[in-house]
Amino acid sequence: MSEIPLSARARAITDSITLAITARAQTMKAQGVDVVSLAAGEPDFASPDAVREAGIKAIRDGQTRYTAATGMPDVRAAGASWLSRVFGLNYAAGDVIVTAGAKPALMLGLMAICGDGDRVLLPAPFWPSYVDIVKLALGVPVIVPAVPEQDFVHAGAQIVRAARDAKAKGIVLNYPNNPSGAVPTRAQVEELVAAALEAGLWIVSDEIYARLIYDGREHFSPARCSGAAERVLVVNGGTKSHSMTGWRIGFLAGPRHVVDAAGRIQSQAIGNACTISQRAVLAVCNESDDAELRARLRAFDERRRWVVQAVNQIPGLTLATPHGAFYALIDARPVCRRLGYDDVELAERLLSDAKVALIPGGPFAIPGFIRLSYAASMKELEEGVRRIAAFLS
Ligand SMILES: Cc1ncc(COP(=O)(O)O)c(C=O)c1O
């Protein structure tokens, strides 16, 4: 029987590179190969006790039924208060919906505001899934080239120019940034937002790393900028700060008519975010003592500092200090030139020969760089960096 082709949309979607490399490293490990994986974007801590207990209690209490598609009313209200208390945002419960993670929040938000070939700017470097999520929303991703010489933060004029050239309708901002760790100052965020507003763009602000910031820097949400509230969709949650990767829970906040539309899409596409996880995320929203979070941050910070000095000692590699998230974006361009590899081949060889898994920069639209995740133990980091140095020498 002749094969009926898949949809154009299905054919346009690629596998997540991070998940693919992590899976390959896991397969090698299962085969008995001693691989150090510094690839995954997943904290190596367990979910906090309060989160786990809340989930267990929900099951015991029989909270296992459907909820409203937009989320349980008290969870929406708690999400709104959390966004206000922790991030200085001004949302009512009705402006926030509960989603099955940040990824679906991005998907629903983008589906609500773009389609039919609308162009969406992606300032590089960016999380590779944005390309596929924009395509799934029937938009067209437009890459704004990376600016490593500006510490990875674009100037307003660069955004205005890119928006005009592409006739763009939206932009996805992600600070703290995966993969660069960039955390712009308040003035830089205001400049970016003013540029996006001047160009008439929707702004989708992925703030999933907003609580993982070092060096006394602060997160300033684009939604706090003057005149931005009607144009910004905020994506946030406890995925990274509270090690909730497997719970699949997050929030989308923004103008009421947009989140209502996103809720309708969720009602048909997903139903509702997992009821148990909704109860569990309340422990993040209502957390009154952030001592445990600060302890996790200290651990990440110690690893970050160690990685920065260790990587910068390897000839041919340079690492500008990341100020947020848990990634180190290493400039390997001199090494690539010397070895005659591109970043994808370099990552391949590091995995097959040195047995250390890293992600090439190409899919993040920053070729010649490689991403190391320091959401790993000091022991793994030391061994991983030792292997990289030995391979390159
Ligand atoms: C920038 C960014 N946004 C969103 C996500 C996904 O978050 P979630 O697991 O809540 O869907 C990730 C995960 O790696 C990420 O790096």
Domains of the chain: 8-46+291-392 (3.90.1150.10), 49-285 (3.40.640.10)
Pocket of ligand 1, candidates 129, 183, 274: which has the most ligand atoms within 8 Å of its Cβ, to mutate? 129
Assess contact for 192 and 341: CB atoms under 8 A.
Answer: no
Assess contact for 251 and 96: CB atoms under 8 A.
Answer: yes
In the chain, what's the furthest Cα-to-Cα distance?
A: 63
* Phi and psi, residue 118, nearest 5°: -60, 140
Q: Is the pLDDT of residue 367 over 90?
A: yes
Residue 217's nearest CA partner among 89, 293, 323 is 323
218-233: average pLDDT: 97
Q: Is the pLDDT of residue 14 over 90?
A: no
Query: Could you tell me the pTM of the whole model?
Result: 0.97
Which pLDDT score, from 0 to 100, does residue 20 have? 81
Nearest residue (by CA) to ligand 1, atom 13, is 41
- Rounded distance from Cα 340 to ligand 1 centre (Å): 33
Distance in angstroms (rounded) separating the CA atoms of residues 79 and 77 = 5
The mean pLDDT value of the chain amounts to 96
Q: Report whether residue 41 contacts ligand 1, using a CB cutoff of 6 Å.
A: yes
pLDDT, one tens digit per residue, over 49-60 is 999 999 999 999
Q: Is the pLDDT of residue 6 over 90?
A: yes
Assess contact for 330 and 313: CB atoms under 8 A.
Answer: no
Q: Report whether residue 26 contacts ligand 1, using a CB cutoff of 6 Å.
A: no
- Edge-to-edge strands of the sheet including 250-253? 96-99, 250-253, 232-236, 202-206, 170-173, 119-123, 140-144
Q: Is the pLDDT of residue 291 over 90?
A: yes
Q: Is the pLDDT of residue 383 over 90?
A: yes
* pLDDT above 90: percentage of residues in the chain: 93
Pocket of ligand 1, candidates 136, 239, 242: which has the most ligand atoms within 8 Å of its Cβ, to mutate? 239
pLDDT, one tens digit per residue, over 253-263 is 999 999 999 99
- Rounded distance from Cα 191 to ligand 1 centre (Å): 25
pLDDT, one tens digit per residue, over 16-71 is 777 888 888 889 999 999 999 999 889 999 999 999 999 999 999 999 999 999 99
Q: Is the pLDDT of residue 170 over 90?
A: yes
